[in-house]
Amino acid sequence: MQEVFMKRALLLARKGIGFTSPNPCVGAVIVKGGEIIAEAYHKKAGQDHAEVLAIREVMKKSGIKTVDLEPALFHNAILYVTLEPCSHNGKTPPCAKAIVAAGFKKVCIGMKDPFKKVNGKGIKYLKEHGVEVELCRSGSALADEIRSINQPFIKWAQSGLPYLTMKAGMSLDGKIATCSGESKWISSELSRKHARLERSKCDAVLVGAGTVRADDPELAAHGVYKNKDLIRIVLDAKLGLPLSKRVFRDDNVIVFYTHEANSKAISEFQKAGIDIRKTTSDLAGLKKIFKFLAKRDFQNIYIEGGSDVHGKIFDLSTRSNGLLDRVLFYIAPKLIGGSKSLSVIGGNGVDKISKALNFKNVNFETLGDDIKLEGEINIY
């Protein structure tokens, strides 16, 4: 395997970040005579996969109709693809069969697909049909980089839970609001713009009722993702939020409530056509919410919850490994102080340093006067 070609496939795969869910991001290149003759990446769930697009590009250049496969075109060609080709019928036909039909004798694969309908079956199919398969060496820098672009997909496939990113804009002393509740604005416009783009890459954004009541956020997708149907998830135990809030502007919203909501409130939300789901107020209820969302194919969830919601997720994460996966904090050079000012993470917290959540791969970046801190708690 020549890493330069796999790195090119990885670069292509990155173009799909934020667009392909619930499918993973995948890039592919076809190499012949030491040169790339075709390349492609998966653009959107339901559309053709990267391998098939690359094959069709070669056929198009050769003037052959896409419905015809001409093995001579791929004689001595090598396919590089970042993820194991699928072998099952989904929204598109199996890629492994297309690869065999095209006449490839060798395929280089970045990583095995953890999705249970694939998970080695694509590799097995290729080998059974005389195709040499070479996997990127596990634990290598390139293999780790390939896995990094599909962390939400990998976690979802392996655990049945979504990948959670906790985002917050805060002061240097960890405050997200003053003692009077004022929070606009602690972080800079540049930080907020960056945070909106990070949100837009996800499948859903989760907030608490307090945040909606105080800030009336739009929670929309932005930039190149502006036409994306980003799902808004609201935790409103009493269903006490006014339906005039912007989070209720269309049907891309799910509200979770508890026994605290009365029948009148439930009726009003139902009449408004809002998807409401009953849960419990304890930490077990919170985990059930995430399991429910994963079953709905929400793999990548952005938590903009406020202190209380952040605290509940943190507390659950200290008891249940593998819940909170990543933090994205925008830290402004301000000091707010005060025991009654809201801290970024509420809840009970830990009683011993040994129980604290530790970061891996911590990165710092300056955004104007602010500092963006990004760290991973879990790596899949």
Of the residues 39, 51, 304, 374, only one is catalytic, namely 51
Separation between Cα atoms, residue 273 and residue 271, nearest integer Å:
5
Active site residue 51: yes
What gap in Å lies between CA 332 and CA 188, rounded to an integer? 7
Give me the active site residues, please.
51
